[in-house]
Every structure is written in structure tokens, then in C-alpha cells.
Amino acid sequence: MLPRQTRAACAAVVATGALVLTGLSGQAGAEAAGSTAAQARTPAPSAARTLHTADTSAAVLNAMQRDLGIGRQQAEHRLANEAEAGATAGRLRAALGAHYAGAWVHGADSGALSVATTDAADAAAIRAQGAEAVVVRHSLAALDAAKARLDRAATHRNTLDTPVWYVDVRTDTLVVQAVRPAAARELLSAAGVDRSLAKVVKSAEHPRPLYDLRGGDAYYINGNTRCSIGFPVTRGTQQGFASAGHCGQAGSTTTGANQVAQGTFQASVFPGNDMSWVATNSSWTATPYVNQNGQNLQVTGSTVATVGASVCRSGSTTGWHCGTVQQLNTSVTYQEGTVSGVTRTSVCAEPGDSGGSFVSGSQAQGVTSGGSGDCTSGGTTFFQPVNPILSNYGLTLKTADDGPGPGPGDPGGTWAAGTVYQPGDTVTYGGATYRCLQGHQAQPGWEPPNVPALWSRA
């Protein structure tokens, strides 16, 4: 933990960026599917590309070039190709059903997509969509179920010696990172997880929440602890922002970077998850921007990036750094306990970077939770996905200065702006039924017929 005891101390930390790691933290840091899959349609390139490339700033592209070792044109192509790959993966997930075993992108700028299935009969349909087919033993549902058993077992055990576990779709295994491999085997046994599903990897990592991160602007909790705004949000007419749960507890008061009274934590969860939101007073106005070292990046949505996709992080200690999404739905144990449902990335971070914004192109991904390593030698960073924060607290991500109005007329149906949809969810709109392809929060202008990258006719 790195609580700041006085405002003077806070100012000193802001000036020097000097923080101590206790873990990167402040408070711690069937029917043969071939015929079915063939029905999946590839979206028009422009529809998919728009989600991740619209309004992508020069700062994001520059950081991608620096950290991924690619040129500017490669960075632009990569974002566009990854957006298309995400839509294709969503369609194939819906088509393959229980056979689906995950998807990932690879290649510096090609956006090549691999899709795994447990049924070799699906291979032709996968290749027909332009993806590489990989036949594996375990479905994603089976691996996710095994991980859920680990999550439940971890609530009754000390898992500091097995701090990270995740489903690795590339290797079709449930990976448990352990300081002591024997501890990982004990956890798997306690959870009743078949060892054929799991792989134990010895690791010296000791992750911890990243405290004092600045994704947007710094703010202070109870006058003596600094953290960072994740993403501005609204809840009805109330304005505020989402951040990490370890930044403060419900009822804690906040002041802005200018030391002006700002707001109050309405809800906070940590450990278990690492999420919170602050309602601000009338002196503060939510904007759709993330601070990029003095420049504004406009956030245009919250479409979830695919495993292997590029992602960038903003923090007050180390600025902008980029990497790739390693695994979704990861669990990590900090000193305070286990946090589940976070995303594991290859982005580096350091103390003082906690709570800040993760983005892919112009799409909000999450708020920095914790990690290990640093931005000199490299590291691993976890972020709490933003969509669960929005869904759990009934928040709407701020994506425009003045939200676009709905299309002409009201076609009726169950689709609703502001709702967080997950892959596989179905809605009706204009008399038709649609299936969600990629997780996102719906917003005006993103009605199902308008965004084939997010919805397909069911």
C-alpha cells in the first residue's frame, strides 16, 4: 500500500513520481458445425474497422510504434485488421456454439486470426471466413468452467503462492502461475479441476494493484491518497467517473488535481473485483476524453478487444505504453486477496500508474489494477474491464460532448442504448432478432442494423 498521509506528501509524489512497489500498488496495485458456421457472414471492412480506428490519436499510434516495434502504417493497419478480426471471431463463436475454443490475432500488421474448435468438421467453415482453424481437445466453456472452480476454491484459501491463473486459448489450457508449484497442485486439487485441463508454470511474479495511476487526471481520496480517473461516466443526470476499487471505499470523499472538492465514492469492490465509481458535484463535468500527456483522446465506445490485440495504457508515472492483450478472464492474487475477471496484458506499468485508462484504438477497455515488472525491463499488467463496471453500477460511458440522438422513429424491440451486451446475447430490433458478436455498451447510432461488426441477424 502507498497511502499518502498529507497533501504535501501527495504533491511531492506527483512531482517526483517516486512510489514504492508492494505489488505495483498503492493499496497493494452437434450437428456438424461446419454447415452452421458457414452461415457466418464477414462484415463490410468499413463497419468493423470504424470501431477501433475512429479518432485514434497520434499519441496512441506513436506509442504503438515505440513499444511494438512497428511503423505508423503498420500500427494503423493493425488496428483496422484487429477490428475486423474481432467481428469475424464473434460470428464464428456464435456459429460454432459448444465447439468454440477461443480466438486470437497475431502478426505485426496482418491481423491474422486463429479460431480454435473441438470439432475437426468445423475447420472448413473457419477457413472460409479467412481464419486459421485450430482443432483442440477442450472447449472454451470447459476451460472457463474449470477456472470458475478455481475462483471459488480461492475464496477459502491463501493463494499468494499461486497469484495468477487464466485460460490460455493459444495452448488450450488453464494456466496456474505459482511461486511454489506444489501450491498450484494443491489449489487444483481443492477445486476438483482435472489436471488434464491445467498447466502449472513456475513464476517469481508477485503482482499487486497499481496505485496512483493517471489514465486521465489525478484525484485525491480523503485528502491524503492519490489515484487516477479511469473513464468519465454518467448515471442519469449524475456525472462522475469509473476507477479502480482499491483506490477508495464507498463514502470516501475526493478532490481533484486542483484540490477543489470533487465528489464521493458511491460503490467500491476490492478484492474479488477491482472496480469503483465516484459521483461528482456540480463543479465537475464529464467529458469523453482520456488525458494523453496533455493531449485528448476521445473514447468512442467500449468494444472488447480480442486476445492478441494491441492495447495502450496511460499512467501518471510512465505515460503512454502499449502492448497486447494476453488473456481475458484472468484471476490474480494480491496481498489483499484474489481479483477475478481481469485482463492480462504485456503492457508495462510502475507504481503511480494504478487506476488509469486502458484503450484499444478509441475503445475503452478497462482501468489499471496491478501487475509486476517495470517499464525499463518490461512487465505484466492487469486491468479491470470497464464493461462490468458500467453494467454493475448502471453507468453510461461518456463518448461524446453531446450524445448523438437516436435514429428517426422508434422501431421497437428489446435492444436498448446503455445496456452492456456480451457475445451470444440476443435482442430484437425493428421486428428482427440479432445476436451479439463482441462485448460492448450499446449507444445511440450503434443500433444492430447499423453495426454488423457487433450484431448479426440470428
DSSP run (H or E) holding 35: helix 33-37
Orientation angle between helical segments 45-53 and 72-96, nearest 10 degrees:
120
With H, G, I as helix, E, B as strand and everything else as coil, classify residue 328.
strand
> Which residue bears the cell 506509442?
63
Say if residues 278 and 255 touch (Cβ distance below 8 Å).
no
| Residue type (1 letter), 305 | A
355 torsion bin: left (phi>0), alpha (psi -120 to 50), beta (else): left
User: Cell numbers at residue 253, please?
Assistant: 470523499
Q: Is 139 a catalytic residue?
A: no
Beta-sheet pairing, 173-178 with 198-202: parallel
Q: Is 354 a catalytic residue?
A: yes
Per DSSP, which regions of 270-318 are E strands? 275-280, 289-292, 295-298, 310-315
The CA-atom distances, in angstroms, between 130 and each of 74, 94, 304, 386 are 20, 16, 21, 30
Other beta carbons within 10 Å of 219: 27
Distance CA 76, CA 62 (A): 10
Instruction: Exactly one of 246, 331, 346, 372 is catalytic; name it.
Output: 246
Orientation angle between helical segments 72-96 and 58-68, nearest 10 degrees:
90
Please give the full DSSP string across 117-165, using - where no structure is assigned. Answer: ES-GGGHHHHHHTT-EEEE-SS-HHHHHHHHHHHHHHHTTS--TTS-EE
| Residue type (1 letter), 81 | N
Q: Is 206 a catalytic residue?
A: no
Instruction: Exactly one of 274, 314, 357, 372 is catalytic; name it.
Output: 274
Instruction: Exactly one of 354, 360, 362, 372 is catalytic; name it.
Output: 354
Distance CA 222, CA 209 (A): 19
Say if residues 356 and 216 touch (Cβ distance below 8 Å).
yes
Say if residues 216 and 228 touch (Cβ distance below 8 Å).
yes
Supply the residues annotated as catalytic.
246, 274, 354
